[in-house]
Chain A
């Protein structure tokens, strides 16, 4: 008996050396780890295959002409200039429409509304559900609304931006709420205990602390909108656009729609163009996501 074991205290039998049953080095653990790695590999392999084949296919047309030229009936002269400008314009207006509305709604739901009130709970539930509604439904909704107010030509920038705004509005509301929820309650209490009003607390403490989260989520939501084609197709955006979009009421096309258009052509050269435009779209999406990651890493606060 060890001198350190007090009388009457139980000391277990056996040694702590060797493998523990069900521990990290048991057969079942290793098998499970293997399955996880396989899943990761499969997902990654699909992505790499997709990107590599697209790059190989599109590389012959991945040149300046793609950026500067208008669509043309002869593939060697065609470019995606109006689609690039259209995408940027539509996403820009989408951001203008959604961000103020979505952030304000998120702030209200998280900071000011009475969470136990039945009305607020219904709103909350609906926002969650709306975030999962297929994008084409928002296209149909916009189409119906525009018809109801008598807009004949629905292939205009503001219509596309409205549809995309409706699509990502619930996402913006949810990320705003998540970001606000990440700010400790102690910060709000500390501010209020000094005699700050709830609006001062919101604008000087809570919201600034939540900006990185809101910015990250918003950029990711906008990059989703950038890749959307379905709601815009419903609104009739699939047209041969040979001019730069120049305003809210201008006709337009976007990159996903241009890609869809070229893919449907019989000539092989157009398929190459479609692949090249896809690479461009991918680069844009990756750039937006990279900005989101940079914002998150640089400004994220650790409590």
Chain B
């Protein structure tokens, strides 16, 4: 038997997309191993229908635990209990942030092997092999688990969502005890949206700005260029500039922001960190302007411009306007 326990993150009545991908992936892998994928949710008054809906993505059973939402350590307690009761061979997490913390904590609790940023998992001789890109995605390492439980933490958007049409899954309550240290953290406010509620997901053209803009006012250069493109265009940002308060969180692309795939994604002053790349690499055309010829973003752009954005963006805006006017 090789059953897989999949963590499903939920917020305000909806399951996180990366968790839906993880449940789908868990179901696919469990079938290859001759076992079942079960999902686990933790929260206060998690609706039964929400939990049961994971049956549509291949979960054969869904465990629901009562506890504080948005924190990792209560889930370590709950998942350790579920694994103890249910004899799971693997625990699987979709990309994001909480899953990293839960998976690592669970590895420590169980003495289990853990691999994060996994982009591919395959079943081989009755066990799972995890593939993880390393060193700025310049190589991919393959990892086997030598522990009775293996922990797989996916990279953002690594696992595809697949609806099976199987319908609702049976839901079971999981009783567990909150450890003293898990009780040591309390959520005060969750999901605060800093800045305006802008929409970047529907845009065909995104002009994205990063720390290279130098200051909050630097975003004006991006806004001017987006306005010159006109039509369905918008401005997006990296975590670095959102954390700095230069641009709204709603415009952030990446691991803890939005995933986008516009026709054109034009980056100015963005290094191209993995956590940003995972949210935009499906864009049809990627153009990057960066003064550092070794910036990682040039590894995955279709057109790379090595130069100072302060010189290039204003002229580009004028040239785009002129082109549109002609």
A and B assemble together: no
